[in-house]
Amino acid sequence: MLEKIDWKQDYKIGIEEIDFQHQYFTLLINKLIDDLVEPKDDYYNCRLLEELSQYASFHFISEENRMIRCNYPFIEDHKDLHRNLISQLNDQINYFKMAKSTIEDIISFLTEWFLHHTVEKDHEFGEYFKETNKNVK
Ligand SMILES: [Fe+2]
Ligand SMILES: [Fe+2]
C-alpha cells in the first residue's frame, strides 16, 4: 500500500513562497500515487512524471535564487544535493519507462526525498533565513 504524504505545519521552513512550493510538491506526489495506481495509459503516465520532474527543477531554481538573495553560505553544497536529486529522478523515470522499475520504487524515492531533503536540509536553510533575514520578504 502506497502511503500519501499528509502536509503538516511542521514541514514549513518559514519562507512562505518555498513552503507553498513544497506543499504543492506533496500534492503532485499524492496525485502520482492516485493516478499511477489506477494507470490511465503509458503516454499519460510519462507526461505525469514529466510534470513532476519539471516542477522539481523549477522549485530548485526558485529555492536557490532565495539562497543567493540572502547569501546562504552553504548554497554550493545545497545545489549539489539538488543536482543529484534531479539526476536520480530522471534515472528513475527512465527505468520506469523501460519497465525496469515500479511505481512503488518511484514513490518511495520521492517520499524519501521529501522527508530527508525537504524536511531536513531545506529546514536548515529556513533556520538560517530566520536568523539573518528577519526583514527580507
Ligand atoms: Fe525545497
Ligand atoms: Fe532544497
Which residue range forms the structural domain that includes residue 116? Answer: 14-132
How remote is the CA of residue 6 from the centroid of ligand 2, in Å? 19
How remote is the CA of residue 82 from the centroid of ligand 1, in Å? 9
Confidence at residue 26, expressed as pLDDT on a 0 to 100 scale: 96
Average pLDDT, the chain: 91
Helix (H, G, I), strand (E, B) or coil at 13: coil
Number of domains in the chain: 1
pLDDT tier, 30 (very low <50, low <70, confident <90, very high otherwise): very high
CB 78 within 8 A of CB 72: yes
Helix count (H) and strand count (E) of the chain?
5, 0
CB 55 within 8 A of CB 23: no
The answer to the question of residue 123 being in a domain is yes
CATH, residue 68: 1.20.120.50
Confidence at residue 34, expressed as pLDDT on a 0 to 100 scale: 86
Confidence at residue 110, expressed as pLDDT on a 0 to 100 scale: 94
Would you state the cell numbers that stand for residue 91, as one nine-digit string? Answer: 534515472
Give the ligand at the shortest distance from the Cα of 15: 1
The answer to the question of residue 4 being in a domain is no
How remote is the CA of residue 102 from the centroid of ligand 2, in Å? 25
Confidence at residue 44, expressed as pLDDT on a 0 to 100 scale: 83
Q: Tell me the average pLDDT across 19-42.
A: 86
